[in-house]
């Protein structure tokens, strides 16, 4: 039955049926039976054309949704089909900026060239970046040429998600904090394009200047060397007791030279600066291709993703197809009453898995 359901989805995808796309995304999001078959089908259809993935991230209230909405209109005006993934609409403190619903209602509801999907974070922790990338595959395979990935939240998970895009746009606003102070390690390094939105408000110019100084863009400025130094070893910057990320957690490589991230000013509500943003996105894409960075980044991302998929497959096998969960239940009393501990139980389960005793 499940096979027939998946067959139906694959047929629908071939026919470019949006209902099949929505079903495929749900299947993948919930990792139901057959989701990997659908993903393999999509994977065979991505990376060939000129489709581009654009991440938009920033603090709550930065106007990302409005900016995305304007960018969609701009890209539609250029004749592009646009897929949008809005991640984390259920995040408790984002103030209800559920991009998907809003745009769907407002401006693009009858436009088949736009497909918007909100993704909940609940229940998919740990693997959300991978799932987002896989949903982007589905959109690209379906024929969308620009895929916007909006992360409303601002934690590590959201940065990981933004990092799966080819071009990452960081949206800041004058109100979002004490200017440059809010731009801590992990954010400055990730963005390819900076946008100061609501730039007509007090502090807009100052924030822009601070970001530019920090990026070392102002030639002859004493900060330049410092900023470049910070960026070149950025992935090891942090509290002194933090080591470099382990192999599996290593972020996608971001080159520290060759591309000077522009700092743009926009007033998204008035549509100001949107054409500049679209032009900067084009420039960055051209740079990525000409420099070979596009392939390099894709390869690094693919390696991370391959490892994540292996881990997920392994998890599914252990909990669904072996006696490991039963053993956890059996040992729970002993652990709760201190007769053993989680580490000895885990070692025992691993030992049995290795010996083939559990499956």
Q: Output helix, strand, coil percentages for the chain, rounded to the nearest 5.
A: 55, 10, 35
Distance of closest approach, residue 329 Cβ to its own copies, in angstroms: 8
249/282 with CB nearer its own copies: 249
What distance in Å separates the CA atoms of residue 82 and residue 70, rounded to the nearest whole number? 12
DSSP 8-state symbol, 15:
T
Say if residues 21 and 142 touch (Cβ distance below 8 Å). Answer: yes
Q: What value, to the nearest 5°, has the Cα angle with vertex 282 and ends 216 and 141?
A: 125
Q: Which two tokens stand for residue 334?
A: 């002993």
Q: Which two tokens stand for residue 132?
A: 């987002």
What is the separation of C-alpha 10 from the centre of its chain, rounded to a whole number of angstroms?
25
Q: Which two tokens stand for residue 191?
A: 């963005």
50/92 with CB nearer its own copies: 92
For residue 230, what are the CA distances in angstroms to 44, 208, 225, 247, 335?
A: 39, 19, 9, 21, 46
Distance of closest approach, residue 76 Cβ to its own copies, in angstroms: 25
156/221 with CB nearer its own copies: 156
Q: At what angle do helices 2-14 and 18-29 cross, to 10 degrees?
A: 130
Q: List, edge to edge, every strand of the sheet that includes 114-119.
A: 114-119, 82-87, 146-151, 52-57, 167-172, 193-196, 263-265
Distance of closest approach, residue 266 Cβ to its own copies, in angstroms: 19
219/354 with CB nearer its own copies: 354
Distance of closest approach, residue 354 Cβ to its own copies, in angstroms: 7
3/350 with CB nearer its own copies: 350
94/167 with CB nearer its own copies: 94
Instruction: Write the CB contacts of 210 (distance below 8 Å, at least 6 apart in sequence).
Output: 179, 180
232/313 with CB nearer its own copies: 313
Distance of closest approach, residue 59 Cβ to its own copies, in angstroms: 4
Instruction: Write the CB contacts of 345 (distance below 8 Å, at least 6 apart in sequence).
Output: 327, 328, 331, 334, 335
Distance of closest approach, residue 63 Cβ to its own copies, in angstroms: 14
Beta bridge partners of 55: 149, 168
217/318 with CB nearer its own copies: 318
């Amino acid at each position: 039955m499940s096979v027939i359901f998946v067959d139906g989805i694959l047929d629908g995808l071939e026919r470019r049926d949006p209902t099949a796309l929505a079903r495929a995304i749900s299947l993948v999001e919930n990792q139901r039976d057959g989701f990997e078959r659908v993903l393999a089908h999509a994977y065979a259809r991505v990376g060939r054309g000129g489709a581009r993935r654009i991440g938009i991230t920033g603090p709550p209230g930065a106007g990302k949704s409005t900016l995305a909405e304007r960018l969609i209109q701009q890209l539609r005006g250029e004749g592009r089909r646009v897929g949008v993934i809005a991640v984390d609409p259920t995040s408790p403190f984002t103030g209800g900026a559920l991009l998907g619903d809003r745009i769907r209602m407002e401006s693009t509801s009858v436009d088949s060239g736009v497909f918007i999907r909100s993704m909940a974070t609940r229940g998919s922790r740990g693997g959300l970046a991978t799932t987002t990338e896989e949903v982007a595959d589905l959109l690209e395979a379906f024929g969308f040429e620009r895929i916007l990935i909006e992360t409303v939240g601002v934690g590590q998970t959201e940065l990981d998600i933004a990092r799966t895009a080819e071009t990452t746009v960081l949206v800041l606003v004058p109100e979002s904090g004490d200017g440059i102070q809010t731009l801590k390690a992990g954010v400055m390094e990730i963005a390819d394009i900076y946008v100061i939105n609501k730039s007509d408000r007090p502090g807009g110019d100052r924030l822009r200047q601070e970001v530019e100084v920090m990026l070392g863009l102002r030639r002859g400025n004493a900060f330049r060397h410092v900023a470049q130094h910070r960026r070149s070893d950025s992935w090891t910057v942090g509290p002194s007791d933090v080591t470099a990320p382990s192999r599996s957690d290593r972020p996608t490589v971001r080159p520290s030279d060759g591309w000077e991230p522009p700092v743009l000013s926009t007033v998204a509500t008035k549509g100001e600066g949107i054409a500049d943003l679209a032009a900067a996105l084009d420039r960055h894409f051209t740079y990525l291709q000409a420099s070979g960075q596009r392939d390099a980044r894709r390869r690094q991302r693919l390696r991370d993703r391959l490892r994540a998929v292996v881990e997920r497959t392994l998890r599914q096998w252990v909990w669904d197809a072996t006696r490991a969960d039963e053993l956890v239940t059996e040992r729970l009393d002993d652990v709760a009453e201190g007769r053993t501990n989680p580490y000895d139980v885990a070692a025992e389960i691993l030992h049995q898995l290795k010996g083939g005793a559990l499956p």
